[in-house]
Amino acid sequence: SQKIEQNSEALNIQEGKTATLTCNYTNYSPAYLQWYRQDPGRGPVFLLLIRENEKEKRKERLKVTFDTTLKQSLFHITASQPADSATYLCAHESSASKIIFGSGTRLSIRP
Amino acid sequence: EAGVAQSPRYKIIEKRQSVAFWCNPISGHATLYWYQQILGQGPKLLIQFQNNGVVDDSQLPKDRFSAERLKGVDSTLKIQPAKLEDSAVYLCASSFGLGDEQYFGPGTRLTVT
């Protein structure tokens, strides 16, 4: 079956450092990957989309990479701030056009 | 622009009762999604509509769950009868088209006792 895996362990980062989150997918090569942020008690908020023919995409302090050989996407937050603390989800569309989300990685930025 | 609206925000019911959730997507968005999110997990797609047609409902427990999208705009998700394991947050999302970024509503937290 097509799976998308994120590090289920929480990531704790010192403020100002770069946070790097990983998303691995198996048994399928998606045309794109999406990254979302989710705060407690709220719905996910879209951050970035990267397509298979794009190696890297940036938006302000955010950067996403897409390595189709490793079947992996990395999500980076540079100059991290406590306000960046949240759960980050990756998602892709399966071969059956079904959206599949990872379980998310909880990020904590300590002052 | 107005976001995705959902109601109610919270619902507590006993097992075997029925419950319905309502979603109003962003105006002009053709694609509407219902997700179930259990605590500590990512959203799980239950059903996806393109206008008022179903694109995917392979993970919808059709013996107890049903959904419809009225006139390709608002949508309702119903559970009848509810089970304890249905306790979760039910998220509605919409997008301009298939594969586009999704905009999520605040969700409905369902507790089945």
pLDDT tens digits, one per residue of A21-40: 999 988 777 888 999 999 99
Question: Nearest-CA residue of chain A relative to B42?
Answer: A103
CA distance B87 to B100: 29
Hey, is the C-beta of B103 within 8 angstroms of any chain A C-beta? yes
- A43/B107 Cβ within 8 A: yes
pLDDT exceeds 90 at position B52? no
Per-residue pLDDT at A109 exceeds 80: yes
CB–CB contact A49 B101 (8 Å): yes
> For residue B52, what are the contacts with CB-CB under 8 A and spacing of at least 6?
B69, B70, B71, B72
- Number of neighbouring beta carbons within 10 Å of residue A48: 18
* Diameter of chain A measured on Cα atoms: 43
Please indicate if any CB of chain A lies within 8 Å of the CB of B106: yes
- Cβ B8 vs Cβ B89: under 8 Å: no
CB pairs under 8 A between A and B: 57
Give the pLDDT score at A62. 98
Phi, psi (rounded to 5 degrees) for B85 = -70, -5
Q: pLDDT per residue over A40-91, tens digit each?
A: 999 999 999 999 889 899 999 999 999 988 999 999 999 999 999 999 999 9
Report the alpha-carbon distance of residue A66 to residue A75 in Å, rounded.
9
Residue in A21, A99, A100, A103 to test binding to B, most B beta-carbons within 10 Å: A99
Residue B23 contacts residue B102 (beta carbons within 8 Å) = no
Identify whether B81 is preceded by a cis peptide bond (ω within 30 of 0): yes
> What is the token pair recorded at A91?
């998602």
**B42 vs A102: CB contact, 8 Å cut-off?**
yes
CB contact under 8 A, B58 and A98: yes
- The 8-class DSSP code of residue B70 comes to G
- The verdict on a CB contact (< 8 Å) between A31 and B99 is yes
**Are residues A72 and A5 in contact, defined by beta-carbon separation less than 8 angstroms?**
no
